[in-house]
């Protein structure tokens, strides 16, 4: 059985399921909980929870947020180094600049929690046991309250089957040479099992065009995409766009509402390190669970990485049918390309972890 993965945040779990523009949850694979992602040390702080901590204020009787260093500094009943390591580089810089009496800066890396406590093993065993009872992979939400590394309590606050499809039948995926036309070819990073899905329409939002828009125009893109996909609800639609679909922060992706895209058959989120656009994608979010539970095939594209081929020209060279929905396209609308692709198929093999769309 796959050991599964968890997303960890400090404080309330809101930052684990509702991404904010300045924070990242800690993603842990439970078979290798101390494994570090392949990133430069400079990225360690950037791709962590550093913007703040969500808490319940007893004095104000409301949900609020506090700075991470402030939250860590006021944790007295548990070992702080269980969750955070001192940010020595920032500490030395503050000292050199003459700052005094500043809270000690931390990086929230959960290093000792994952390395020196039984927490990852317990969570792994819990997931395996629950999955056995459900006879299905599950998605859970939980809280964990610590006194020390050996004294803690885990509470499950939500549990539901993690919907998949097409698991029982393998799909033969043809070899595609580098000179053959292809839209998407990748290994891994998809959810939906084994599928052979014919596509009638591809709705594509171009990354470069979208990122060049102001915030209001990005909302315009979302509303137009919603109008298109609702009108095509009886067709098989593949929705492809930059960053995170359904985000509340337009700089992270297209801010559609789930109701606007609930009828599509497959959805793709694209990030690109070369273009400096690497927002955390939808894994683990409530929006992602809505996608999976609605039987929508999901794939993430990390453009430029090994074993990833992504050719937007495959779609953009085909006639753009946008004018069928927008009589006089504005600058924002021009980021959208709608192509009728009745000969396109989306193929995936969950065992080989291969995906092809052409």
pLDDT tens for 237-270 read 999 999 989 888 899 899 999 889 999 999 999 9
Provide the pLDDT for residue 52. Answer: 85
Q: 271 with 303: CB under 8 angstroms?
A: yes
Dihedral-angle region of residue 29 (phi above 0 means left; psi in -120 to 50 means alpha; beta otherwise): beta
Question: Around Cβ 303, how many Cβ atoms within 10 Å?
Answer: 19
What CA–CA distances, in Å, run from 315 to 209, 258, 261, 321, 341? Answer: 15, 24, 20, 12, 8
Write out pLDDT tens, residues 196-207.
999 999 999 999
* Mean of pLDDT values over 270-295: 75
Task: Work out the average pLDDT over 300-311.
Answer: 93
Which pLDDT score is estimated for 285?
A: 62
Q: Where are the domains of the chain?
A: 5-161, 184-357
With cut-offs at 50, 70 and 90, classify the pLDDT of residue 162: low
Instruction: Determine phi and psi for 171, rounding to 5 degrees.
Output: -120, 130
Reply yes or no on whether the pLDDT at 37 is more than 70.
Answer: no
Q: Which residues of 208-226 are buried (b: 16+ CB within 10 A; e: fewer)?
A: ebbbebeeebbbbbbebbb
Are residues 199 and 344 in contact, defined by beta-carbon separation less than 8 angstroms?
yes
The predicted model scores a pTM of: 0.66
Angle at 33 between CA 32 and CA 38, to 5 degrees: 75
Q: Any idea which residue has 């959805």 for tokens?
A: 267
Q: What is the mean pLDDT of the chain?
A: 86
Percent of the chain having pLDDT more than 70?
A: 90
Q: How confident is the model at residue 71 (pLDDT cuts 50, 70, 90)?
A: confident
Output the pLDDT for position 308: 95
């Amino acid at each position: 059985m796959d050991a599964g993965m968890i997303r960890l945040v400090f404080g309330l779990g809101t930052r684990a399921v509702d991404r904010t523009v300045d924070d990242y949850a800690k993603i842990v694979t439970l078979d290798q909980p101390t494994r570090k992602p392949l990133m430069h040390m400079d990225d360690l702080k950037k791709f962590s929870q550093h913007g703040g901590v969500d808490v319940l204020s007893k004095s104000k009787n409301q949900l609020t947020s506090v700075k991470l260093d402030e939250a860590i500094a006021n944790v007295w009943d548990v070992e702080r180094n269980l969750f955070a390591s001192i940010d020595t580089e920032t500490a030395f810089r503050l000292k050199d600049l003459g700052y005094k009496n500043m809270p000690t800066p931390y990086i929230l890396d959960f290093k000792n929690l994952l390395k020196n406590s039984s927490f990852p093993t317990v969570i792994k065993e819990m997931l395996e046991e629950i999955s056995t009872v459900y006879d299905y992979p599950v998605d859970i939400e939980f809280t964990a309250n610590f006194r020390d590394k050996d004294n803690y309590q885990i509470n499950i606050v939500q549990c539901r089957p993690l919907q998949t499809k097409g698991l029982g039948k393998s799909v033969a995926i043809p070899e595609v040479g580098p000179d053959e036309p292809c839209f998407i070819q990748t290994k891994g990073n998809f959810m939906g099992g084994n599928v052979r899905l014919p596509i009638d329409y591809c709705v594509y939002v171009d990354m470069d065009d979208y990122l060049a828009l102001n915030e209001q125009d990005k909302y315009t893109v979302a509303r137009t995409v919603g109008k298109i996909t609702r009108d095509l609800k009886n067709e098989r639609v593949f929705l492809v766009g930059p960053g995170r679909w359904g985000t509340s922060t337009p700089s992270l992706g297209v801010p559609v509402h789930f109701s606007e895209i609930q009828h599509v058959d497959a959805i793709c989120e694209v990030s690109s390190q070369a273009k400096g656009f690497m927002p955390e994608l939808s894994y683990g979010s409530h929006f992602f669970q809505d996608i999976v539970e609605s039987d929508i095939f999901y794939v993430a594209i990390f453009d430029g990485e090994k074993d990833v081929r992504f050719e937007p020209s495959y779609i953009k060279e085909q006639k753009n049918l946008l004018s069928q929905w927008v009589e006089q396209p504005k600058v924002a609308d021009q980021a959208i390309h709608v192509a009728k692709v009745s000969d396109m198929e989306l193929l995936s093999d969950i065992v080989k972890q291969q995906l092809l769309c052409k």
